[in-house]
Amino acid sequence: MSIKVGDRIPSVTLMHMTDKGPGPITTDELFGKKKVVLFALPGAFTPTCSARHLPGFVEHAGDFKTKGVDAIVCLSVNDAFVMNAWGKDQNAAGKVEMVADGNGELTKKIGLEMDASKFGMGVRSQRYAAVIEDMVVKKLEVEEPGAFKVSSADHMLGVL
């Protein structure tokens, strides 16, 4: 069963890049005591993710801040090195926090994993976006397989 509006984000440890290399960051640190837009996607450097999904949030980072969002978090079942390189490639620094769910722990706990084995990618995250306030899901938009609409930056700005 997947997470729904009103549910709490589980406490897990993810990874992100720090000045000293890859380091842990907890969901409590990411989502506690603030308003965060989380968007997740199947993989860094993949076509829709690189051409449309992440760039939309980078482009509209200021618009989210204007609407009271404290942080934007991009999550993928990739490692911290890949997420960091992708963030640099997409000029995300200072706009979108690039977070690695390398083992898919959070993705599985919230029930939004997908099997991309037929593409040689293993278990990945479904494409979705959520508004999380102090660890509680306030809005959740999960894409149909192969779609890209309701998890876009434009759509999420409209639901805030």
Please give the positions annotated as active site: 49
> Helix (H) and strand (E) counts for the chain?
7, 9
Q: Among residues 91, 88, 94, 102, which one has the least CA distance to residue 23?
A: 102
Asked if 39 contacts 57 with a C-beta cutoff of 8 angstroms, the reply is yes
Cα separation, 44 vs 55, whole angstroms:
12
